[in-house]
């Protein structure tokens, strides 16, 4: 569901609050890594969505290729880009580049960090120098009628769509569908978007990502102009995201803030994000607000989550850190002698429920995704009411 136009919500006092609604009490206990002395955080006030305003014609670059470097250049990594992956760094700086072109220049060693070859998954540090080779856009493909397979893919994308205009697309990504390709992955969203190339050969671009088993709101830019604006909104934390999860046990306090450092830990079989110390190699600060919405026999809790930062596996690692891992998580659920209640599927119970972000041409995009089938089944079996008030909307933003 996408809400495109509505009047701003009126301010309410305590007497006007609906029955069962309680203000967010994130200060209760200030759990798990909260650093004393932090300034009071601003309230989480989601602006009401407004119809996008028409943009002046000059806002759209006439020559989009002119934004790409035509000769070798060396640029410093900024504070905002600290700990960013090499491929994400290029995507953020040059939204017009395709994923395959980025992988190609990195694989050939044309991009170097402090004079050395880099892998696309390497993390950058503030102050490092990145050598960027001349870049070019993909050659537009001639328009042609879609094959039968292409038509089916386009229909599948339309079925997933919960918001669309000339610049932006919000998909309800199903659990089990990868966002980008990888080892052994033959079907993914990035590949599916090939069927949406326009007459100029422009293909819609991913603006952020979700784990393969996480369902819900996935933001896609349909133009280079929108890609640049939306990527900037994520970098400057103007995008607000809300997730729903089913977790083991009931967190205490029922509303709180999780603040830790996270670092990637590699093994021969897998890689996970571990809780780290400030100053550890590759460690990044991560902040999550959580609120218990409803419980089931004190064994399970429906939790609403608001990530302030956007680290890999942040919500999954943070909930496991406070000993309330997300049900069905194959990487982070490690509670001993814990049995899945009858009827519940052993799949990741995590939904990217809502995204609120400034529209590139004015106004606000506010999109909401429904519970995926396996989570809806769990909600029904446990008697959880999906239309209950969600207290995380009033959580702080810092």
Q: What percent of the chain has pLDDT over 90?
A: 51
Question: Does the pLDDT of residue 10 top 80, yes or no?
Answer: no
CA distance 73 to 75: 7
The CA-based angle 343-346-349, given to 5 degrees, is 100
The end-to-end CA distance of the chain, in Å, is 27
Q: Which residues of 344-370 are buried (b: 16+ CB within 10 A; e: fewer)?
A: beebbbbbbbbbbbbbbbebbbbbbbe
DSSP-assigned states of every residue in 223-246: SHHHHHHHHHHHHTT--EEEEEEE
Query: Are β-strands 350-358 and 215-221 bridged in parallel, bridged antiparallel, or unpaired?
Result: parallel
Per-residue pLDDT, averaged over 289-318, amounts to 95
CA distance 397 to 306: 9
pLDDT per residue as tens digits for the range 227-280: 989 999 998 889 999 999 999 999 999 999 999 999 999 887 788 999 999 999
Structure tokens at 338: 């814990």
Question: What is the pLDDT, as a whole number, of residue 139?
Answer: 53
Question: What is the pLDDT, as a whole number, of residue 12?
Answer: 44
Q: Is 138 a catalytic residue?
A: no
Q: Residue by residue, what is the 3-state secondary structure of 134-171? A: CCCCCCCCCCCCCCHHHHHHHHHHHHHEEEECCCEEEE
Per-residue pLDDT, averaged over 162-187, amounts to 90
**Residue found by looking up tokens 């953020």 in the block:** 92
Question: What is the pLDDT, as a whole number, of residue 98?
Answer: 72
Structure tokens at 195: 């069927």
Element (H, E) at 215: strand 215-221
Q: Is the peptide bond before 253 cis (omega within 30 degrees of 0)?
A: yes
Sequence-distant (6+) residues with CB within 8 A of 197 are 140, 141, 143, 203
* Least reliable range by pLDDT among 139-143, 219-223, 274-278, 358-362: 139-143
What are the φ and ψ backbone dihedral angles of 256, each rounded to 5 degrees? -170, -175
Q: What percent of the chain has pLDDT over 70?
A: 81
Residue 57 CB burial class (10 angstroms; 0-12, 13-18, ≥19): exposed
**Dihedral sign, CA of 105, 262, 83, 167?**
positive
User: What are residue 364's DSSP bridge partners?
Assistant: 358
* Average pLDDT of the residues of the chain: 82
Query: Are β-strands 205-206 and 129-132 bridged in parallel, bridged antiparallel, or unpaired?
Result: unpaired
> Do residues 192 and 157 lie in contact, with contact meaning Cβ atoms separated by under 8 Å?
yes
Radius of gyration of the chain (CA): 22
What are the φ and ψ backbone dihedral angles of 150, each rounded to 5 degrees? -65, -40
How many Cα atoms sit within 13 Å of 314 on the Cβ side? 25
Q: pLDDT category, 21, cuts 50, 70, 90?
A: low
Question: What is the pLDDT, as a whole number, of residue 119?
Answer: 86
Question: Does the pLDDT of residue 6 top 60, yes or no?
Answer: no
CA distance 352 to 338: 26
* Choice among 211, 329, 366, 390 that is catalytic: 211
Domains of the chain, each with CATH number or no CATH? 23-53+142-398 (3.30.2350.10), 66-132 (3.10.290.10)
Sequence-distant (6+) residues with CB within 8 A of 69 are 132, 133, 134, 135
Structure tokens at 302: 């429906």
User: What are residue 308's DSSP bridge partners?
Assistant: none
């Amino acid at each position: 569901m996408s809400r495109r136009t509505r009047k701003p919500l009126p301010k309410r006092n305590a007497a006007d609050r609906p029955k069962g609604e309680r203000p967010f009490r994130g200060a209760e206990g200030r759990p798990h890594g909260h650093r004393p002395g932090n300034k009071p955080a601003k309230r989480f006030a989601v602006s009401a969505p407004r119809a996008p305003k028409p943009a002046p014609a000059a806002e759209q670059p006439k020559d989009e290729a002119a934004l790409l470097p035509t000769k070798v250049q060396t640029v410093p990594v900024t504070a905002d880009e600290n700990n960013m992956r090499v491929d994400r760094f290029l995507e953020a700086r040059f939204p017009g580049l395709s994923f395959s072109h980025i992988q190609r220049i990195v694989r050939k060693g044309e991009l170097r960090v402090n004079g050395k070859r880099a892998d696309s998954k390497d993390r950058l540090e503030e102050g490092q120098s990145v050598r960027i080779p001349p870049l070019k856009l993909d050659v537009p493909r001639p328009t042609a009628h879609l094959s039968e397979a292409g038509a089916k893919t386009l229909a599948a994308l339309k079925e997933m769509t919960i918001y669309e205009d000339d610049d932006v697309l919000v998909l309800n990504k199903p659990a089990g569908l990868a966002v980008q390709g990888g080892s052994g992955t033959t079907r993914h969203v990035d590949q599916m978007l090939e069927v949406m190339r326009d007459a100029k050969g422009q293909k819609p671009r991913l603006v952020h990502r979700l784990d393969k088993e996480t369902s819900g709101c996935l933001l896609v830019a349909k133009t280079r102009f929108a890609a640049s604006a939306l990527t900037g909104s994520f970098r400057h934390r103007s995008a607000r995201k809300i997730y729903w999860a089913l977790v083991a046990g009931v967190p205490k306090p029922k509303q709180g803030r999780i603040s830790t450092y996270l670092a990637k830990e590699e093994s021969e079989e897998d890689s996970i994000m571990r809780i780290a110390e400030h100053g550890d190699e590759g460690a990044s600060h991560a902040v999550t607000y959580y609120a218990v919405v409803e419980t089931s026999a004190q064994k399970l809790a429906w939790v609403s989550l608001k990530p302030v930062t956007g680290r890999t596996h942040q919500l999954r690692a943070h909930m496991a850190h406070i000993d309330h891992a997300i049900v069905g998580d194959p990487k982070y659920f490690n509670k001993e002698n814990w049995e899945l209640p009858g009827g519940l599927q052993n799949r990741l119970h995590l939904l990217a429920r809502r995204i609120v972000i400034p529209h590139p041409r004015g106004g606000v995009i506010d999109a909401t995704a429904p519970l995926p089938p396996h989570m809806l089944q769990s909600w029904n079996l446990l008697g959880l009411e999906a239309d209950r008030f969600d207290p995380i909307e009033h959580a702080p933003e810092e």
